[in-house]
Amino acid sequence: MANDVWVYIEHKDGAIAPMSFELLGIGKQLADAFGSSVCAFVVGDKVDDLAKEAGAYGAAKVYAVEGDVFKGFRGEAYAKAAAFLLDKYKPEIALFRATIMGTDVAAGAAAQLGFGLCTDTIGLAVDGGKVKMTRAAFGGNYSVSVVNEKAAPQIATVRPKAFAMGEKDVSKSAEVIKESFALADADLSTKVVEFIQSATSVNLVEADIIVSGGRGLGNEQGFTVLQQLADLLGGAVGASRAAVDSEWIPYEHQVGQTGKTVKPKIYIACGISGAIQHLAGMRTSDCIVAINKDPDAPIFKAATFGIVGDYKEVVPKMIEKFKSKLGK
Amino acid sequence: MKIAVCLKQVPDTEAEIKWDIPKGTLSRDGMDSITNPFDEFALEEALLTKENYDGEIVAISMGPEGAKDVLRNALALTVDQVALCTDDAFAGSDTYSTASVLAAAIKKVGDVDVVFAGKQSTDGNTGVVGAELAAILGFSPLTQVAKVRSIDAAGKKIVVERAVEGGTEVVEAKLPAVVSVIKGINEPRLPNLMGIRKASKIDIPQWSAGDLGVDAGKVGAAGASTKVVEIAVPPPRGAGEILKGEIEEIANTITDKLIDLKVIK
Ligand SMILES: Cc1cc2nc3c(=O)[nH]c(=O)nc-3n(C[C@H](O)[C@H](O)[C@H](O)COP(=O)(O)OP(=O)(O)OC[C@H]3O[C@@H](n4cnc5c(N)ncnc54)[C@H](O)[C@@H]3O)c2cc1C
Ligand SMILES: Cc1cc2nc3c(=O)[nH]c(=O)nc-3n(C[C@H](O)[C@H](O)[C@H](O)COP(=O)(O)OP(=O)(O)OC[C@H]3O[C@@H](n4cnc5c(N)ncnc54)[C@H](O)[C@@H]3O)c2cc1C
C-alpha cells in the first residue's frame, strides 16, 4: 500500500543480528497511525532466513532483491537495489539504521531518487498526514524536525537504540515478495578486496553499557582499569578526544561531535570534564554516571549520578562491589 | 591528476547559534565561522595527493559570500584554484540540492579524478553529502575513509581503507571517485604567513546557478524536498544526584542503583 512503513533490514553476509530488526517496533507504531502495514525490505545474496526473522518481528510483508552480486556488503550495489524497490512501491517512509552500512544505503538510494533525507533521527511522529522526523542539532542543544514535503518515500536513518525493539513472535510470518533487479559486477565501480577484523572490535554504537575515559585518567594504564569494569558489565570502552589525542586509545573509541554518537543505557564518564563537543555524542544516554575530581566539572550537570572523587579509587571499588553483587 | 575538495563553512563550535526560524535555516551573518573541522582533513588529503602523485587542486564551497574565507584559507595552503558557488537561489538547500550544486561545480571544472570531502559537517551534520554527490555524478562512493593506499590516475584506480563496523575494509574502486575522509587520516597543516598574504590578494571566482547551469527552481528552498519545519530546545536533563559519603558507601550505592536498572547481565 502507498502509505506502508518500510524498514530496511541491515545484515552482514546474511548473518542474523537481532538489532537488524529493531526498527520494526517503531515502524509498527507509525503504520498503526496510518492504518497501514509495516513491511521489511532486504537486499542480499540469500535472504530467506532474514525474511523469516523479519516476519517474526512483525513485518507483514518482506520485499527482497536477491542475487549473487549482493554477496558481501557493497553500499553502491545495495543502494541501487534499495532505490529500485522504493521507487517501484513508493511507501510512505523508509527507515534505515544510522550505522555506517545503513547510512551508505540510505544516502545512495535517496540520491538515486533525487531527494534529501533525515539522518540520525531520534524522534518519529505522524503529524498532518506525514511523518515528522526529529534529529539533534548542535550537540543536542537544539532539536530540529524535518519533513520531506514533496516526494515519497520519506527516508530516515534512525539512531540505534532510539526506539525499543518490538517483540519477537515465532508464530508470525511475512509474505515474501522477491523482485528481480538486474545488476552485474560490471555495473559497479567498487570492490571490497579485504576485510581486516579490528583487534579490539569496539561496537560503541550498539553497546548497552559504555565506560568512558578522558584526560583525567592521566595515562594509558587508566584505560586498563576502565576495560576491567567494562568487561565485568559486558560493556564497551569509550573515550574523550583529549584521551584519543594523547594516544592512550585509538580514535574508533572517541565519543563526541567528531567521534561517535552513542545512546547506551548506562554511560560512565571517568575523568571527563563534559565539554559541549563530548556531550554532543552521549547526552541522550539513558543513565549517565560521572566520576570527576572537580565538583564544578560541567559533566555533573548532565549526569544522572555524580561522584566527586578520584577515579583511581572509585572505579576499583565499584569493580569490587560489582564482583561480589553479581557473583562474578 | 585533477583533484577537487569540498569545503563547507560552519559556525564556530563555540559560537552562539542564530536561527532564521520561519525559514528553518541558520542566519549565518554575524556568527563566527570556521572551516568544517572534517574538511581540514579532506583538504590535507588533497594536498598530500598532489604532492605524492602530481596534479592540481580545485577547492569548492557552496555558501554565502562570507564562505570565501574558507577558500582563502585553502589558497593560503596552496590549492591551485577555488570557486565559491553562491546564489540566493541556493539558500535553504537540503542535502540533495547541496550535492547537486557541488556536482554541477565539479562537472564545470571538468575531468576531475578524485573528489575529497569530509565525513560530515558540524552544523547540518547529516554526513551524507559525499555519498549523494557520488551517486549524482556516477563516481565511486567511498565513505568513512581512514587511509588512501594508492591512486593510479592513468589506470583509473584507487585503493582505500574504510573504517567500518567491526574492522577495516580495503576497497578497490574505479576513478573518478568521491572520498569522504574521517578524522585521523592525516595531520592537517597550518598556512604560513606568506601563504596567507598571497591568498589575501587573489580574487575568488563566484559561480551562480546560471554559471553552473542548474535550474534555480530545483535547488535551495524552492527545490529542496526536505524542510526543517520545527526548531526546539530539548528539555534539560533533570538535575542529577551527587552521591555523598565515604568511598565505600558511594561505591555501594552506585552499584546498587546500576544493578537496579536491570541492564547489567
Ligand atoms: C571542533 C571540535 C570538535 C571536538 N570534538 C570532540 C569529540 O568528538 N569528543 C570529545 O570528547 N571532545 C571533542 N572536542 C574537544 C573538547 O572540546 C574537549 O577539549 C575534550 O572533550 C576534553 O576532554 P576531557 O574531558 O577528557 O579533558 P579535560 O577537559 O582536560 O578534562 C579532564 C577532567 O578530568 C578530571 N580529572 C583529573 N584527574 C582526575 C582523576 N584522577 N579522577 C577523576 N577525574 C579527574 C578533571 O577534573 C577534568 O574535569 C572537540 C573540540 C573541537 C573544537
Ligand atoms: C540543524 C540543521 C539540520 C538539518 N537537517 C537536514 C536534514 O535532516 N536533511 C536534509 O536534507 N538537510 C538538512 N539540513 C540542511 C543541510 O545541512 C544542508 O543541505 C547542507 O548544505 C548539507 O548538509 P550537511 O551540512 O549535513 O553536510 P554533510 O553531509 O554532513 O557534509 C559532508 C561533507 O560534504 C561537503 N559539503 C557539505 N556541504 C557543503 C557545502 N555547502 N560546500 C562545500 N562542501 C560541502 C563537505 O566536504 C562536508 O564535510 C539541515 C541543516 C541544519 C542547519
Structure confidence by residue, pLDDT tens digits, A59-72: 999 999 999 999 98
In a domain, A199, yes or no: no
Q: How far is B202 from chain A (nearest CA, A)?
A: 32
Residues A211 and A177 in one domain: no
Q: pLDDT for A173-219, tens place per residue?
A: 999 999 999 999 999 999 999 999 877 667 888 899 999 999 999 99
- Closest approach atom of ligand 1 to CA A242: 23
The answer to whether residues A130 and A26 belong to one domain is: yes
Quick one: which ligand is closest to B124's CA? 2
> Does residue A35 register a pLDDT over 70?
yes
Secondary structure (H, E, C), chain B: CEEEEECCEEECCCCCCCEECCCCEECCCCCCEEECHHHHHHHHHHHHHHHHHCCEEEEEEECCHHHHHHHHHHHHCCCCEEEEECCHHHCCCCHHHHHHHHHHHHHHHCCCCEEEEECCCCCCCCCCHHHHHHHHHCCEEEEEEEEEEEEECCCCEEEEEEEECCEEEEEEEECCEEEEECCCCCCCCCCCHHHHHHHHCCCCCEECHHHHCCCHHHCHHHHCCEEEEEEECCCCCCCCEEECCCHHHHHHHHHHHHHHCCCCC
B 219-258 residues with CB < 8 A to A: 224-234, 237, 239-243, 247-248, 250-252, 254-258
Residue with cell 511523518: A131
Residue A261 has pLDDT above 80, yes or no: yes
Distance from CA of A175 to the nearest CA of B (A): 31
User: Is the Cβ pair A146, B37 closer than 8 Å?
Assistant: no
- Cβ–Cβ gap B242/A300 under 8 Å: yes
Residue in the block written with cell 554526513? B127
* DSSP conformational letter for A120: E
pLDDT digit string, tens, across residues A219-256: 999 999 999 999 999 999 999 999 999 999 988 899 99
Please give the tally of structural domains in chain A.
Answer: 2
Whether the pLDDT of residue B15 is over 70: the answer is no
- Identify the pLDDT of residue A217: 97
* Cβ neighbour number for residue B107 with a 10 Å cutoff: 14
pLDDT at residue A249, as a whole number: 94
Interface touch B128/A110, C-beta < 8 Å: yes
Give the residue from chain B lying closest to A103, CA to CA: B128
Task: Say whether both A86 and A44 belong to one domain.
Answer: yes
Hey, is the C-beta of B128 within 8 angstroms of any chain A C-beta? yes
pLDDT surpassing 80 at residue A139: no
Per-residue CA distances from A304 to A139, A266, B16, B99, B155 (Å): 18, 10, 26, 41, 57
Task: With H, G, I as helix, E, B as strand and everything else as coil, classify residue A106.
Answer: helix
Q: Is the pLDDT of residue A116 over 90?
A: no
Same domain (yes/no): A163, A242: no
Q: Please tell me the predicted confidence (pLDDT) of residue B220.
A: 87
| Interchain contact A307–B (C-beta under 8 A) | yes
Is the ipTM here above 0.95? Answer: no
In a domain, A196, yes or no: no
Tell me the ligand closest to A299's alpha carbon.
1
Contact A103 B127 (CB under 8 A): yes
How close is the nearest chain B Cα to the Cα of A11, in Å? 12
My answer on whether A79 and A138 are in the same domain is yes
Shared domain for A123 and A230, answered yes or no, is no
Domains of chain B in start order, with CATH, are: 2-223 (3.40.50.620)
Q: CB–CB of A255/A304 below 8 Å?
A: no
Is A145 buried (19+), middle (13-18) or exposed (0-12) by CB count in 10 A? buried
Q: Is B90 on the interface with A (CB under 8 A)?
A: no
Q: Does residue A74 share a domain with residue A11?
A: yes
Indicate the burial class of A246 (C-beta count within 10 angstroms; 0-12, 13-18, 19 or more).
middle
Q: What is the pLDDT of residues A16-27, one digit of tens each?
A: 888 889 999 999
Distance A11 CA to ligand 2 centre (A): 27
CB contact under 8 A, B144 and A117: no
Q: Look at B96 and A266 and tell me if their CB atoms are within 8 Å.
A: no
Quote the pLDDT of residue A138.
80
Q: Residue B265: pLDDT band by 50, 70, 90 thresholds?
A: confident
- Domain co-membership, A40 together with A183: yes
**Are A111 and A43 in the same domain?**
yes
Residue A195 within a domain:
no
Within 9-38 of B, beta carbons closer than 8 Å to A belong to 13, 17, 19, 24, 37-38
Domain for residue A139, yes or no?
yes
CA distance to A52, A104, B143, B147, per residue, from B179 (Å): 37, 13, 6, 10
The residues that bridge with B241 in the sheet, in sequence order, are: A305
Residue A57's H or E segment, with its range, is none
Q: Are B52 and B69 in contact (CB under 8 A)?
A: no
Statement to judge: residues A234 and A160 lie in one domain = no
Mark whether A39 and A180 lie in a shared domain: yes
Q: Counting ligands in written order, which one lies closest to the CA of residue B231?
A: 2
Give the mean model confidence (pLDDT) for residues B11-40: 79
Please choose from A119, A122, A144 the residue to mutate so as to test ligand 2's pocket, defined by most ligand atoms within 8 A of CB.
A144
* Mean pLDDT (chain A, rounded): 93
What percentage of chain A has pLDDT greater than the value 70? 99
Q: A141 pLDDT band (50/70/90 cuts)?
A: confident
Q: Quick one: pLDDT at residue A150?
A: 80
**Cβ-based contacts of A306 with chain B (< 8 Å):** 240-243
Partner-chain residue, chosen from B125, B167, B242, that has the shortest CB–CB distance to A195: B167
> Of A155, A187, A219, which marks where a domain is finished?
A187
Domain at A48, CATH number: 3.40.50.620
| Per-residue confidence (pLDDT) for residue B27, from 0 to 100 | 74
Is the pTM higher than 0.90? The answer reads no
CA distance, residue B197 to nearest chain A CA (Å):
31
Name the domain boundary from A187, A212, A238. Answer: A187
User: For residue range B49-99, what is the model confidence (pLDDT) as tens digits?
Assistant: 999 998 999 999 999 999 999 999 999 999 999 999 999 999 989 999 999
Do A150 and A23 sit in the same domain of this protein? yes
Q: Is the pLDDT of residue A161 over 80?
A: yes
Where does the pLDDT of residue A149 fall: very low under 50, low under 70, confident under 90, or very high at 90 and above?
confident
Give how far B249 is from chain A: nearest CA, Å: 10
Give the model's pLDDT for residue B23: 72
What pLDDT is attached to residue A276?
A: 87
Q: Hey, is the C-beta of A103 within 8 angstroms of any chain B C-beta? A: yes
Closest partner residue to A142 among B17, B128, B169, by Cβ?
A: B17
Q: Are A311 and A291 in contact (CB under 8 A)?
A: yes
Q: What is the pLDDT of residue A22?
A: 93
The reply to whether A211 falls in a domain is yes
pLDDT greater than 70 at residue B30:
no
pLDDT of residue A200: 65
Domain that holds residue A15: 5-187
Q: Is pLDDT at B17 greater than 90 in this prediction? A: no
